[in-house]
Chains A and B, each alone.
Chain A
Amino acid sequence: MSPSELAHIFIDGEPIDPRAEATLFDALAASGEFRAELRDLLAVRAAVQSDVSAYAPPKEVTDRLFASLGIGPAGSASANVAGRGPGWMRRLWLPFVAAIVGSALTAIVVNNRSVDPVQSHSSFSVGAIQQSPAVPPSVTNAQSSSASAGVSVPDVAGHGSHRAHNNTLSTLPTGLPRGDEVTPRQERSANVPSPTSQVSPTPVQRSASDEQQRSEVSTPINSTPAPAVVRSPAQTTAAPAPTNTPQISASQPVSERPTVQAAVSTPNASATPVVTHTETAAKTSDVQGTVPITIQKNLTECSAVAPTQSNAAVGSVPAPTVIADTSATSSSKLNPAPSEASHSGPLAAGAAMPASPALPPGYAAVVRGLLSQSIPASSVATSTGGLPSNVAAGIFRMLGAHHQVGVEIGQEPFGQQFSRQERDSFVVYKQNPTLFWGTVAYRIVASPVSMLGGMIPYAQTNLGVARVGPLARITLGFLFDIADKLDLIVGGEGAMMWYRFESAWLSTRKIGATFGAAFKF
């Protein structure tokens, strides 16, 4: 190793072999030029060390860097780390966008599935017929005389096809009555032995009492008028009357039949959708985007679900497509006289439409469990109180075929973490309080998905307040119809709660699953 290299190693402060060190010192002692070289190297190093300005980045550069990264000024105390203003907006956009996209997709799916006339008509006509014990009582003589001109009632329902096997509206996807779902019916005179295949919209004259009933019935129905159900006398004779519904004989002229009280608008009303069906007939023009169907389908569906028929059990009602096929094949059977029609097809002679329970006004009580995790997860044990935690309960009201609104309350823990600078230390607080909350909810329900065994997708949004601040929830899940008036709920849920700490808004997110049941009434 040369003396120059030894000089570099020496100024680097690295250890030198004793023999190499002797060589270095001997060279320094012998050569003035080598000593000058060593001094030059030491001077350059000293100058570099004194170049303080090269070591400090400009303040504006530092500020610009921290601003671009979304961090507070370097060295400043941080009141919290859980959600300053810009931070919570950055985290909030994704849940909201996901909710909007999910709602839009659900709406698209719902709209696309609601335009199928065959399935929806078949299913709802089944359900509607099931609840219609008799011919609409509001049919007047004038109507009877004009019954030969059929009245088509468009079907606006979009997701009842899976209910074809069910006989009551109470078993519809969301557990809420589908009284407003329309099944096209053809109005006929009581003396007409069989339905006609010709359907055309015809204005129907109504009595004043009928108008009043329709106004009462139609009040809660905004966009989906109820279907009208008109049956031939032969088919309705044997149908058992529902509770509080007057008995109507098939042989009884329509004009003499008693009036059925409106049921849709009052919870305690037990009237059948017959009234609503009639109302729909008068409001055909109000229904948009619907397609009328022939009465043949209705009769087939009616007969298929008649419980009094020995050869046709309620549960054996085929799927909508089957019903449609059946109607297509049996339409010819509907043309004969009542005596023949009564012995043809599933509907036996003289069999009246089955008695149907009172039409529920459209409410559902929901109870569900919340299985979610706070983000960030809190290691602090939560406090316990008298009320159960991680549960929610609510009441929903159906606004249409696919829309529901309601209120929900619940209680669950929310992990919280906030921090602040205290002297030379940074103090982080963690807590996991159980908080009570209340929200208003909006739910949109799609049509049943046959590929998923009839499960019904739904999306729900809650907005409200928790004990310490505003709260928002988004749920995506499925409904399962497991029994009459009972649905199971399962889905995934995300929630965000905001709270304040030292004049700063912080937030806690939760994500997880939800499960429960909806009781329809």
Chain B
Amino acid sequence: MQYALGYDARAIIHVIDYSALTDNALFAMLPDRQHRDRAFAELYRRYSSRIFAYCLKVLGEREAANDAFQDTFTRFFNSARVDREMTNLPAYLLRIARNVCLNEKRAKSTPVSIDDIEVPAFDTPYEKTELLQLISTALELLPLQYREAFVLREYDGMAYAEIAEITGITEESARIRVFRARDKIRMILKPYLVDLTQ
């Protein structure tokens, strides 16, 4: 082996495939300067979509979502410098994102009960591609706790137990919130969903 520095020295070559490592193994590498960059890049590749979807759907504004998303991963990166044991990294990331988004929402929004939501009248014919925008609009009409439960379930694929862990509620309460959020969105989009199914 021709070593990098051109002189005879004993060397041990470690071949590291970061994509094959578990979340916990990658997280354990973050405090190590030698592996920090690659480990973080791999974790970012795995969970950036989930986190960005959560921030975007909960906050409803792309600019605010961009800031919350960056803030989330920055806090995650900094927290990884402290030696801590990680059991559920996606939930940990979403918990950070939730705190960031909640802080943002508390500064701007007022609480609204899900029963008080009035279904808007959409008179304009829509196309299928507009359904996504309608869903986003419907999400914005939901109270925060129902919105985040719906996003965690539908966009992030979290189990009800994980949703309960992240939001600090019971699993049954998490299930009820998701059910009620679905029903409300369905009610909001009912006229358009009828056209869609037809």
Contact = CB atoms under 8 A, between A and B. Distances in A.
Q: Do A and B bind each other?
A: yes
Interface string B30-44: 001111111011001
Nearest to A8: B179
A386 B99 CA distance: 62
Interface stretch (A61-69, A285-293, A341-349, A397-405): A61-69
B183 interface: yes
B49 interface: yes
A309 B18 CA distance: 81
A419 B121 CA distance: 60
Contacts of A32: none
A45 B178 CA distance: 12
A57 B14 contact: no
A380 interface: yes
Contacts of B92: none
A54 B48 contact: no
A429 interface: yes
A69 B74 CA distance: 7
A433 B7 contact: yes
Contacts of B3: 429, 431
Contacts, number: 163
A44 B155 contact: no
A61 B45 contact: no
Given A71-B37, A78-B37, A429 B155 contact: no
B49 A57 contact: yes
Interface in B10-59: 10-18, 32-38, 40-41, 44-45, 48-53, 56-57
Given A47-B135, A426-B17, A418 B193 contact: no
Given A69-B77, A376-B33, A56 B154 contact: no
Given A69-B77, A71-B40, A418-B4, A64 B70 contact: yes
Interface string B44-84: 11001111110011000000001001100110010000000
A69 to B, nearest CB: 5
A55 B132 CA distance: 13
Interface stretch (A15-23, A35-43, A173-181, A451-459): A35-43
Contacts of A82: 33-34
A75 interface: yes
B46 to A, nearest CB: 12
A142 B74 CA distance: 83
Contact of A65 (B18, B70, B189): B70
Interface residues of A, number: 62
A57 B74 contact: no
Contacts of A431: 3, 5, 9-12
Given A57-B48, A61-B69, A74-B44, A44 B189 contact: yes
B29 to A, nearest CB: 10
Given A65-B73, A81-B38, A8 B178 contact: yes
B15 A419 contact: no
Contacts of B179: 4-5, 8
A380 B3 CA distance: 14
Contacts of B132: 47, 50-51, 53-54
Interface residues of B, number: 58
A4 B186 CA distance: 13
Nearest to A50: B132
A429 B56 CA distance: 42
A200 to B, nearest CB: 66
A428 interface: yes
Given A71-B41, A429-B3, A431-B3, A379 B12 contact: yes
A69 B40 contact: yes
Interface centre among A53, A419, A427 (most CB of B within 10 A): A419
B130 to A, nearest CB: 10
A108 interface: no
Given A61-B66, A81-B34, A81-B35, A44 B186 contact: yes
Contact of B5 (A51, A81, A499): A499
A223 to B, nearest CB: 45
B145 to A, nearest CB: 17
A43 B17 contact: no
A97 interface: no
A501 interface: yes
Contacts of A69: 40, 73-74, 77
Given A57-B69, A69-B40, 5 more contacts: A53-B132, A55-B49, A61-B69, A64-B70, A66-B41
Interface of A: 4-5, 8, 36-37, 39-41, 43-45, 47-48, 50-51, 53-58, 61-62, 64-66, 68-69, 71-72, 74-75, 78, 81-82, 87, 376, 379-383, 416-419, 422, 424-433, 467-468, 499, 501-502
16 contacts: A8-B178, A8-B182, A40-B193, A44-B186, A48-B155, A64-B70, A72-B37, A78-B38, A81-B33, A380-B11, A383-B10, A430-B12, A431-B12, A433-B5, A433-B7, A502-B4
Listed from nearest, the 6 A-B pairs whose CB atoms lie closest are A55-B49, A57-B52, A433-B9, A431-B9, A431-B11, A428-B14
Interface of B: 3-5, 7-18, 32-38, 40-41, 44-45, 48-53, 56-57, 66, 69-70, 73-74, 77, 131-132, 135, 154-155, 175, 178-179, 182-183, 185-186, 189-190, 193-194, 196-197
